């Protein structure tokens, strides 16, 4: 169902925004000349050349060199894409390893909740939580820590929302008044 938030108007015609974006992306892709299109043009040119006045060898060699160069650039681009994926996986693995060392530690974090007031206007509220980290999760490319708050509710916390990380005994020390710490010492 369309609503004003997921539509786009172009030249007076209203489209679903996602469908329009997909159509535009397909149109851009079909306008690209790849190595197959280049080779097809070269073969067609050779088929229809005048046998009494053939193409100059230098020009043909130049076109073949351009084709080879295009193919090599395409292969390099494909290789770089694969390397980028490997680096992304390595980065995620390193991050998960680092976050795994936080399991068992105390954590304070902030969550932002988006809602609407009586008039439908957007309202953002933030809530602070405290708890203990019990795990790490990677879902849809996002790495988060799993934390159980003081009421036993499980949260998947974005790393950017962590406000304070501490050892569990630090929590116990904070609960003891300063005077008692001095008296015991």
pLDDT in tens, 77-125: 888 888 888 887 777 778 778 888 889 999 999 998 888 888 888 888 8
Q: What is the pTM of this model?
A: 0.44
Please give the C-alpha separations between residue 61 and each of 35, 52, 72, 153, in angstroms, as whole numbers.
16, 19, 16, 70
Q: Which of 172, 173, 174, 165 is nearest to 109 (CA)?
A: 165
Using DSSP, state whether 183 is helix, strand or coil: helix
């Amino acid at each position: 169902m369309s609503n004003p938030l997921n539509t786009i108007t172009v030249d007076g015609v209203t489209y679903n925004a996602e469908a329009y974006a997909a159509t535009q992306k397909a149109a851009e892709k079909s306008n690209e000349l790849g190595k197959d299109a280049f080779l097809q043009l070269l073969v067609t040119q050779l088929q229809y050349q005048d046998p009494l006045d053939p193409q100059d060898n230098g020009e043909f060699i130049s076109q073949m060199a351009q084709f080879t160069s295009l193919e090599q650039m395409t292969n390099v681009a494909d290789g770089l894409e694969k390397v980028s994926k490997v680096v992304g996986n390595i980065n995620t693995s390193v991050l998960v390893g680092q976050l795994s060392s936080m399991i068992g530690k105390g954590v304070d974090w902030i969550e932002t909740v988006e809602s609407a007031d009586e008039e439908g206007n957007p309202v953002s509220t933030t809530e602070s939580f405290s708890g203990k980290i019990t795990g790490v999760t990677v879902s849809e490319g996002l790495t988060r820590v799993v934390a159980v708050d003081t009421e036993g509710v499980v949260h998947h916390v974005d790393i950017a929302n962590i406000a304070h990380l501490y050892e569990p005994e630090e929590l116990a020390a904070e609960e003891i008044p300063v005077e008692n710490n001095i008296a015991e010492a």
